A and B are shown apart, each in its own frame.
Chain A
Amino acid sequence: MSDMSEEREALRGAVADYLDANFPIDTVHRIANGKESVAADEWSKVAQGLGLAGLVIPEEFGGQGAGFGELGVVLQEFGRTLAPLPMLSSAALGTLPFLLSTDDAVRRPYLEALAAGSAPAALALTEESDSWPQAPQATTAVQSGDHWHVSGAKHYVLDNGGATFYVVSAATAHGIGLFVVDGADVVRTELHAIDLTRPQANIAFDQAPAVALVVHVGDELTRLQDLAAILVSSEQLGGADAVMRMFVEYAKIRVQFGRIIGSFQAIKHMCANTLVEVEKARGAAEDAADRAAEGEPDLALAASLAKVATSEAYTNATLTNIRVHGGIGYTWEHPAHLYFRRSRSTSALFGTPAEHREALLVGLGY
């Protein structure tokens, strides 16, 4: 094992220990059912302890200075456990725009607050009827003197129940920019979400004061979205792997017809087919994260490949999980549906497999 992968495995182990101790699936389930809640200071504790909130934030802003490879590994663990903390929403997606920005004066206070875990952010790009990649259609930003104001609405925002600030894409007179809007200046409507373990919202804002993070984002908007898709893929991979383990374990203990069900070829083949899909998806997701870590300029193909592979591996694995469990897998009490729901949700967000297939062909010049 190389040093790099040893370090990553150590990080994975530390995060796994924390998550298993604090967010076993029963706890996650109770939180999803509103019977328990996450301590208000949990995220800042995690920020201080494991340094997850600022994992990819440069050290000069109080972060860990790690790369996308490490972030990918951590997201896999969050995907595995469904822990309801803003790891994807803030430490990954919400942090990305601040990494794109080169204006230290503007970004410093945000990055420091993000790294401290005291002010989670959310990335808000999607509008009502978007395809992939997304460009703002109705959200606009207007400058008057030194100040910017944004108006419009963003949909399906992963904001962990309400972010301290939102980064929105908006059209200006000169192109598309990224703007930071205070959570207090948006009207937030919580959505009914298929995914019970992660809140989502529509946000609307009218002449909301905004800070211009990147005035002309240009092609970087595509890169931002490719990175987002790659990060979501990492999380999906962790979930797919977890449900596979879940049903393989069950296939080793459940007895019907006097036999362990895993001894039936039908079940064995379902397990093996999932392994094939998950390992291929792992290749694609980790390859994409590595490319991102190395700063490869064009991530579009790698991102779409990863998103197609992990979305499909995950949705298929969650259905197989229910099927291998039989009746018990179809109940509310069993965690299988939490993963089934998460897989469906993440498959649709940041480009559906169909949209990414189209993007692949377009990217390949067809």
Chain B
Amino acid sequence: MTTTDTTTDLEDFRLRVRDFLARNAKRVDAAGDEESQDGETVDYLTGARVWQNSLFDAGFSGLSWPKEYGGQSLTMHHQRVFNEEANGYVMPSSPFMVTLGMCAPTLLQYGTEEQRRTHVPKMLRGDEIWCQLFSEPGAGSDVAGLTTKAVRDGDEWVINGQKVWTSGAHFADYGLIVTRTNPEVPKHKGITMFIVDMKSPGVTVRPLRQMSGGSGFNEVFFDDVRVPAANLVGEIDNGWMAAIGTLMNERVSIGAGGGGLGRGTGTAQFDRLAELATKVGRIDDGAARTELASIYVEERLLAILSERMRAGLKAGKAPGPEGSIAKLSGSELGRRVADMAMSLLAESGQAWTDGEDDSLHWAQTLLGSPGGAIAGGTPEIMRNILGERSLGLPKEPQVDRDIPFKDTRTN
């Protein structure tokens, strides 16, 4: 196949995708609910890996990513065609969101050639799952306030400290970790990023339970964990750049479904809500119609924005602060969808008997929605980024930007 996206080429491609999906993927309705990201059971994980393997082996993983790193070097038009065809199919891609949406792009941009060749193809194939080891108990919105230490010892670095809220650490093979390597300089200037093998001695993963009941995130402790110097990503003490890269990718990823995951382009949430409104006899109710229509509009706007954002990504650009628009819009949409479902279900949204699957589904949606708003940066942080970086407004007063990290105020 050539990389020129002539009409025939795209049509051929569409037929190949259609055929592949028909033979390998499950329809959304036949499979019931697409599992939430909460917890991720062993069965789900195994199934997801098998799916990602088959996607890769058939040449549909990393469509717009470079061939030398396992991708297909195709265009965003191909990605779009894939997404269109994937509508209505279950895409068990959530275990790979951090891997492909955040970690792989960071390696492509800041990693060594060796790191890219070793890991990216395995990431695309679902053989390696990665996690993002950024947040700490004292450093969430302010990741640059992190205190996990890395100290050089010959050809190795020794890491000590604690990370928290690490999604998927309980099943991840590797993690991207940011560490403090120089506390004598201002906080953004003494941070270094490494690849850490999650099976290394001294790594302890403890699951944390979310308010929705599942255990999708963890606390991760590092006790004298040794990492080869070759695992350095970017430059020593200049890891903040790479970290910003990961975070910007994360916002696109959470808000817009990036990373070549084949996210659908449809209006899945609207569809399901409209179905619910019909079922409960409220589809002719004026107030319900207005809200439903607004949700359709928001979901489509986000889909279009996402499409354009992903197209921008392909052009080799690192995502800009605009990822925050998607992140912000996505969490607001999530809240509205959950609220509307609760309003439609009335009493039956807050209690149910066995078998009342709508109630269960929407209760889970409701209980997951606050997490979606916080993960990857809170709405307040997104607004600060848009105001300061996209619009150039004066920065919030920063009390600790220019003083040595060791002199800053922490919790």
Contacts and interface: CB of A to CB of B under 8 A. Distances in A.
Interface of A: 126, 130, 155-156, 189, 191-195, 200, 202, 253-259, 264, 266-267, 319, 322-323, 326-327, 329-334, 336-337, 340-341, 344-345, 347-349, 352-355
Contacts, number: 127
Given A264-B396, A266-B380, A266-B383, A331 B350 contact: no
B54 to A, nearest CB: 34
Contact of B351 (A200, A253, A332, A355): A200
Interface in B346-380: 346-347, 349-354, 360, 363, 366-367, 370-371, 373-374, 378-380
B370 A330 contact: yes
B408 interface: yes
Interface in B113-167: 135, 138-142, 145, 164-165
A191 B346 contact: no
A156 B347 contact: yes
A191 B353 CA distance: 5
A340 B140 contact: no
B275 interface: no
Interface centre among B140, B351, B354 (most CB of A within 10 A): B351
Interface residues of B, number: 48
A354 B287 contact: yes
Given A257-B400, A264-B380, A333-B209, A327 B351 contact: no
B373 A327 contact: no
B383 A192 contact: no
A334 B165 CA distance: 14
Contacts of B346: 348, 352, 355
B351 A255 contact: no
Nearest to B208: A331
A191 B360 CA distance: 12
B399 A258 contact: yes
Interface of B: 135, 138-142, 145, 164-165, 208-211, 213, 287, 335, 342-343, 345-347, 349-354, 360, 363, 366-367, 370-371, 373-374, 378-380, 383-384, 396, 398-400, 408-411
Given A257-B399, A348-B347, A326 B378 contact: yes
20 contacts: A126-B347, A130-B347, A156-B347, A191-B352, A202-B353, A255-B409, A258-B145, A266-B383, A267-B380, A323-B370, A323-B373, A327-B164, A327-B374, A337-B211, A340-B370, A347-B342, A349-B347, A352-B346, A354-B287, A355-B346
Contact of A192 (B138, B353, B379): B353
- A contacts with B: majority SS: mixed
Nearest 9 A-B pairs (CB), nearest first? A258-B400, A337-B211, A332-B209, A191-B351, A256-B142, A266-B380, A193-B351, A345-B350, A258-B399
Nearest to A259: B399
Contacts of B209: 331-333
B145 A257 contact: yes
A256 B370 contact: no
